[in-house]
Structures are given as C-alpha cells and as structure tokens.
Amino acid sequence: MTITDTHTHLYSEEFDQDREEMIQRAIDSGVSRFFIPAIDSSCTAAMYDLEKNYPEHVFLMMGLHPTYVKENYLEELQHVEEELAKRKFYAIGEIGIDLFWDKTRLPQQQIAFRKQIQLAKQYKLPIVIHCREAFDEVFEILEEEKSPELFGIFHCFTGTYEQALQAISYNMKLGIGGVVTFKNGKIDQFLNQIDLKHIVLETDSPYLAPIPFRGKRNESSYLLNVIDKLAGIYNLSAKDIANSTTENSKMIFGI
C-alpha cells in the first residue's frame, strides 16, 4: 500500500528537532511519496536539501504563496521563473489567493496567481491552489485562464459541494486532509457524492492535524487517520483509498 502526501511542508522549522524521525515514521506507515510546495525564495535551499536526502521520496514544487506576496513580489516571481528554467519541478505551487489575513494585497495576489498559472502552462505543469476566503476570486481567474493545459490540485479543499464541482470542472483534483475529520469541517457531508477519481490526499503538515491530533503538530503519518475517515465515507477499504488516491496523484504529477 503506497500512500501519497500531495502537500507537506517538510522544511518547516516545526520539524527541526526531529525531521528525520518524523519522515521515517511516515515511510514506515506507508506514506512514502511527499510533494513539497514552495512558499517563497527563503525555503528553496531547504527544499533542495530534502530532495538530496530523500531522492526516492521527495518531489518539489516551485511557486510564490499568496500570503507571501509582499512589496518584493515581482522579485519573488522572478526567482520562481529562474528556478523553473534551471531544473525539473513537479508542479507550480502553492499559488492562489488568500483574503483571510490581508485583503489590501488582492491586486498583487491576482497578478502573481495569473502569472504563475501562465508559467504552469508554459512548462506543462500542474498548479496547486491555495484558496482561503477567496473562492470567487480564484474561480474568476481560473475561468479566464481555463484550457486543456490547465490542471492541478485545489489544495486543502474546504468549500461546498457546488464549489467542489466547479473546481473539478477546471481539471482540479480536491486535496483532502485533516479537515475531513473535523466535526465542523462539513466536507464529509458531501464527499460521497464526489467520485474518488477526483480526490488526492494531503496533510499540509505541520498544519491542520486530523482528529485525534487536532491542535497539535501535523505530520505525514497522520494521513492514515484521513484514510480511515475516507474509507468510511466511500465504504471502501483503507487499501482501496490509498491506492486510488496515489494513482490520482500520479496522473497529476506525472510520477
């Protein structure tokens, strides 16, 4: 049983004390494929180190996270372009729009999101979307940029059934993690109406730990709790959930 974590920040300082042990716990539990989203240029070196240390397990993305769209965002976008030109990545991410913390930078976030979508098309890569309190704004740009070349993952999907269908209509898989185990998460109420072929697994670790670890540091081995929840929702075995979602991840990332 091969389990894929399509979104984990393994370079986070929250893992500095026990990173090797935490990654080994995940591998021992069957979680052996880790896809690493970028935040901004400050994490690039750490991402490369992870890839060097775990070449068979770690797969990198490149991108500028919307909450890191600051005054220097054009320089950061230049960094993204330069890295993409140098070497192989498996996605552009995480990118998108976040209006939870700061609504004043929406125009800059929109520019960054659109630019990175266009880079994804240029390099024929999937995008991994971060969306927080910004479904309308994200969908507006996806509608304008939609094409057969545009595909990817709607990371940490927390929307409604209707929004799920809309995301899928833009060739997006739904990234499902710890939120599906929350009593107030709500997505568990309609996921059984979404074909499993549209679902991939993720932790977003160190954030959003599933029940019974909610409020604590998340880690990739906790995907087993998410799988158990999905097995109940879809009335399938944990092995079926793991295998199907890993196959879905291979369709997106090409590996």
DSSP of the chain, one letter per residue?
A: --EEES-B-TT-GGGTTTHHHHHHHHHHTTEEEEEE---SGGGHHHHHHHHHH-TTTEEE-B---GGG--TTHHHHHHHHHHHHHHS--S-EEEEEEE-SS-STTHHHHHHHHHHHHHHHHHHT--EEEEEES-HHHHHHHHHHH--TT--EEETT----HHHHHHHHHTTEEEEE-GGGGSTT--GGGTGGGS-GGGEEE---BTS-PPTTSTTS---GGGHHHHHHHHHHHHT--HHHHHHHHHHHHHHHH--
Give the whole-angstrom CA distance, residue 163 versus residue 135.
8
Residue 204 falls in which region: left (phi positive, over 0), alpha (psi -120 to 50) or beta: left
The answer to whether 204 is a known ligand-binding residue is: yes
Q: Is 65 annotated as a binding residue?
A: no
Residue 247 assigned as binding residue: no
**Is 79 labelled as part of a ligand binding site?**
no
Binding residues for a divalent metal cation: 7, 9, 94, 130, 155, 204
Binding residues: 7, 9, 94, 130, 155, 204
